[in-house]
């Protein structure tokens, strides 16, 4: 599985920071089911070597993924796909949705993508997943 994740990672010169590109690609891969809950992630060093980037850049992406609750870093053992968080209350979920939407809008703006087109694509993808 590590190889599948590593092979799926691609960096570009879009102006989006490398750690953000890496974080978003890993989130997409996790969302696509490349790894299940509890599965071990590629090590930070494996990712850095595979992409020929600085280890601190990978660490930054992994730290962000942990902050988002997508992975769990276990000192001395590695990084693992996290269990989904417990259900949030209505107010907390609304705040989380708002923050995620703002993040998506900022990324769209940085990439020169129309927010309405992004929203349409999200709706389409959500319907496909059902």
Q: Same structural domain for residues 72 and 99?
A: no
pLDDT value of residue 120: 92
Q: Same structural domain for residues 95 and 77?
A: no
pLDDT value of residue 104: 86
CA 47 – CA 61 distance, rounded (Å): 11
pLDDT value of residue 98: 85
N- to C-terminal Cα separation, the chain: 25
Q: Where are the beta strands (DSSP E) in 1-130?
A: 71-74, 78-81
Q: Which domain holds residue 95?
A: 90-129
Buried b or exposed e, range 118-128, using 16+ CB within 10 angstroms: beeeeeeeeee
pLDDT value of residue 41: 92
pLDDT value of residue 1: 54
pLDDT value of residue 45: 94
pLDDT value of residue 51: 93
Number of domains present in the structure of the chain: 2
Q: Same structural domain for residues 54 and 71?
A: yes
Q: Same structural domain for residues 17 and 75?
A: yes
CA 114 – CA 3 distance, rounded (Å): 34
Residue of 65, 60, 90, 94 whose CA lies nearest to 79: 65
- In angstroms, the Cα distances linking 66 to 54, 107, 113 are 19, 20, 27
State if pTM tops 0.75.
no
Task: Give average pLDDT by consecutive 10-residue segment, the chain, 130 residues.
Answer: 77 87 88 84 93 95 90 92 72 80 85 90 83
CATH number of 27's domain: 1.10.10.10
């Amino acid at each position: 599985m590590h190889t599948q994740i590593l092979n799926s990672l691609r960096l570009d010169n879009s102006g989006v920071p490398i750690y953000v590109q890496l974080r978003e690609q890993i989130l997409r891969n996790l969302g696509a089911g490349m790894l299940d809950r509890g599965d071990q992630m590629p090590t930070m060093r494996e990712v850095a070597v595979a992409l020929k980037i600085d280890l601190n850049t990978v660490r930054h992406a992994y730290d962000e993924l942990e902050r988002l609750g997508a992975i769990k870093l276990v000192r001395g053992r590695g990084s693992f796909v996290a269990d989904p968080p417990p259900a949030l209350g209505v107010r907390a979920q609304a705040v989380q949705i708002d923050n995620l939407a703002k993040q998506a809008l900022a990324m769209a703006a940085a990439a020169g993508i129309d927010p309405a087109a992004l929203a349409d694509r999200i709706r389409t993808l959500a319907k496909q997943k059902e």
